[in-house]
Amino acid sequence: RRMSYDECFCNISSNCTSQANFVDKYLNQNISVRGLKIGCLSSESFLQSTLECFYDLNCIQLIQNYTNYEYNNNSKNSFIPFSSTNMTKILINTTISQLIDELFVDDWNRTLNYSSYYRQCSPIDCSYSYIQKLNSIHTLQLLIGFQDGLTIILQ
């Protein structure tokens, strides 16, 4: 039997994914888990998923209910939904793949302060080197220049 997800067949593409669902046997229905994907490869499903569900307490409780998670209000391992109020660049529906590409950093804050660096680190000497590899055009120019120089000197 061929596995397929949303009209995408795993034997053709391993990137096939579709919406992850819990199957409720008693209600005879599928219950979607917002943002989570299921597919041919668990790694690909993970990368194409979002953390959308984890911003919503009801969705977190849905996962807890269908995974038989022992939930206790006084427990230290109770889940608190993520908050999007502190996020500046990352959207709720950003894929985990995009988050990995961004190193899970919402905003890089760079401050360059050379005087503070020198005051704090107190380097004795400051130098840099630039290593340049010769490419074929540069090598050809050097050879032609060398030949022209020798021609002028030897005349």
The residue type found at 5 is Y
pTM for this model (two decimals): 0.61
pLDDT at position 155: 67
- DSSP letters along 7-23, please? TEETTT-TT-EEEEEEE
Whether 95 shows a pLDDT value over 90: the answer reads: yes
DSSP result, 32-66: EEEEEEEESSHHHHHHH-BSGGGG-HHHHHHHHHH
Cβ neighbours of residue 115 under 8 Å, at least 6 residues apart? none
* CB 31, CB 20: distance < 8 Å: no
Nearest by Cα to 23 from 61, 55, 67, 70: 67
Two tokens at 43? 């790694």
Query: Does residue 89 register a pLDDT over 80?
Result: no
106 within 8 A of 87, measured Cβ to Cβ: yes
Q: How far apart are CA 115 and CA 121, in angstroms?
A: 10
Residue for token pair 């709720």: 92
pLDDT at 74 over 60: no
The answer on pLDDT for 150 being more than 70 is yes
| pLDDT at res. 46 | 94
What pLDDT shows up at residue 55? 92
Residue 151 vs residues 138, 147, 155: alpha-carbon distances, Å: 20, 6, 6
The predicted-structure confidence for 27-45, as pLDDT tens digits, reads as follows 899 999 999 999 999 999 9
